[in-house]
Amino acid sequence: MALSKRAFIFDMDGTIVDNMSFHTASWITFFQRRGKDIDPDAFFIATAGRQGKEILHSYLGDHLDDAEIAALVHEKEAVYRELYEPHRKTVAGFEQLVGLAKGPGVALAVATAAPPANIVFTLDGLDLRRHFDAIVGAADVARGKPEPDVFLLAAERCGVAPEHCIVFEDAPLGVEAARRAGMRAVVLTTTLPASAFAEFDNVIHIASDFSAFTIDALFAA
């Protein structure tokens, strides 16, 4: 596939859907079951964009084997889906933006740390899969954000050079992953204020939702 197009690459949780408070709530429940209390704000900053297995190893130890990790991830994500399902919807302006992007031939991808079941839950539950040329999740790459793997694979599957990709993110680890991938980033303040992203020189826009964006302005930034 020729590297000639431009691409929008969307993080999913906290970006396409405003659900990070439900993820945090499910982690709090998960850890409380094990006698551990976590600070929600600090936990989000430290973990948003990382894969579930990485979070579990960090908080519960490296002694857990793959089967134990898989079972624990399943438990946590089941709690999350039960909490978030009644609230499931896209962030304002998302479907309008992706509709506009298709006209000038902008490739569209999802690059998420979510496991397959959560990708199905969100993208199929909201009938969004039809919009995307590529979907990359936790099962497709070895390392989560802030490593750039998920964004680079999404760009490769779209046939677009990294410098012609714009990433949409809500978390510092995701913006750092975009920076390491050589991509510009648009930040949505669904969870953190704009000040949380002041250190990143690859951020071109910060907004509360997608409604104010135009295709030409984003790529001109």
Mean pLDDT on 95-115: 93
Which amino acid, residue 62?
A: D
> Active-site positions?
11, 13
In this prediction the pTM is 0.89
Cross-sheet strand order for the sheet of 134-136: 134-136, 106-111, 6-10, 165-169, 184-188, 203-207
Question: What is the 8-class DSSP label of residue 90?
Answer: B
Q: In the prediction, which pLDDT does 135 show?
A: 98
Which amino acid, residue 94?
A: F
Residue 219: enclosing H or E segment and its boundaries? helix 215-220
More confident residue, 203 or 61: 203
Contacts of residue 139, defined as CB under 8 A and 6 or more positions apart, other chains included, come to 115, 116
> Which stretches within 85-171 are classed as H helix?
94-102, 116-119, 149-158
- With a pLDDT cut of 70, the percent of the chain lying above it is 98
Question: What is the 8-class DSSP label of residue 91?
Answer: P
E strand intervals along 133-196: 134-136, 165-169, 184-188
**For residue 97, is pLDDT > 80?**
yes
**For residue 188, is pLDDT > 90?**
yes
**3-state class of 51 per DSSP?**
coil
E strand intervals along 44-145: 106-111, 134-136
- Residue ranges and CATH numbers for the domains of the chain are 6-19+88-220 (3.40.50.1000), 20-86 (1.10.150.240)
What is the average pLDDT value for the chain, to the nearest integer?
A: 94
What does the pLDDT look like over 110-151, one tens digit per residue?
Answer: 999 999 999 999 999 999 999 999 999 999 999 999 999 999
